[in-house]
Structure 1
Amino acid sequence: MGQYKANSINSKSFILTIENTRIGELNYTEWYSFKAEIKLADNSIYQLEPKGFWDSKIELKKAEKTLLEFKMGWKGIVIKTNFNENEKNYLLKLKGLLSNKFILVDAEENEILVVDTDFKWNKFNFDYTIETSTEFDTMENKELMLLTILHCVNYYLTIIVAVT
């Protein structure tokens, strides 16, 4: 089981680490934008691009190839991956109605990841702690998935704030 930290450098950039080793970063083009870039430790770059009416769906792309997409659903954020032509579905949802934790469940509803949000009043942004299961740790493209999930949580929090 892994324990990752995602720290906000400013309101537009997050650094993901495990045991003080940089895994990658998530960078937004502008404040409160759904368009972002993921840069992994090996310097590979991916784009997160909103699609559809009201940016209802976000796609993760490498060049022109879509590797993952997610959208808000009634139960949470529905994530569909397509790494190496192997499609899998996940659901990211709040652990409880008034919780500050998100969980990722697979198609069999096994909890494979927990994201704990920590709002920093002095910086007016969030830091995150992510705990992964053994199942998640063996997943292909797990670093890319972690940074995308971080974007999903930010997306969820932005939508909720906009609705209230």
Structure 2
Amino acid sequence: MGHYKANSTNSREFSLTMNNSNIGELKYSKWYSFKADILLADNSIYQLEPKGFWDSKIELKKDDKVLLYFEMGWKGIVIHFNDSDKKYLLRLKSLWSSNYILIDTDEKELLAVETDFKWSKLTFDFNIETSNEFDNFENKEVLLLTTLHCINYYMAFVNSTV
């Protein structure tokens, strides 16, 4: 099981670490934008780009190739991988919780995210616990940072409807 921390340096930049070692960053182009870049420690860069009416779908790209996309569903955010039939669901752990879980189609929990709102900075930090199965994923770092983007997307979507 892995334990990761994602800290927000401001409302647009998040750094992901494990055991104080930098894994990567999630950087938004501007405040309240769904367009963002993922920069990994190995200097590889991925783009998250909104598509569709009301930015209802977000695509993860590397060099103009779409690797996955996610969209809001009735139960949470559904993540679809383009190269396979794999689907994952990111949802709230419980109705009155601010914690999230990522599950597969068998409802097996792959990771849990605990949100921590920092009143002094008006930003969120995240604690992420991954399962052994998740730890064996290819490109798990990209999926972790994409999951952070999904959570920010979910919070922005829910807050805009209240």
TM-score by length of 1: 0.97
Alignment of 1:7-156 (within 5 A): 7-82=7-82, 85-156=83-154
Tell me how far 1:86 sits from its aligned partner.
3.3
Tell me how far 1:87 sits from its aligned partner.
3.7
- Identity rate, percent: 64
- Aligned equivalents of 1:96 and 1:143: distance in 2? 25
Deviating beyond 4 angstroms after TM superposition, the runs of 4 or more aligned structure 1 residues are none
TM-score by length of 2: 0.98
- Aligned equivalents of 1:100 and 1:51: distance in 2? 27
SS at match of 2:153: helix
Matched AA of 1:125: T
SS at match of 2:154: helix
Q: Which runs of 5+ in 1 are unaligned?
A: none
- Aligned equivalents of 2:130 and 2:85: distance in 1? 20
Q: Which runs of 5+ in 2 are unaligned?
A: none
Task: Count residues with an aligned counterpart.
Answer: 162
Tell me how far 1:100 sits from its aligned partner.
1.3
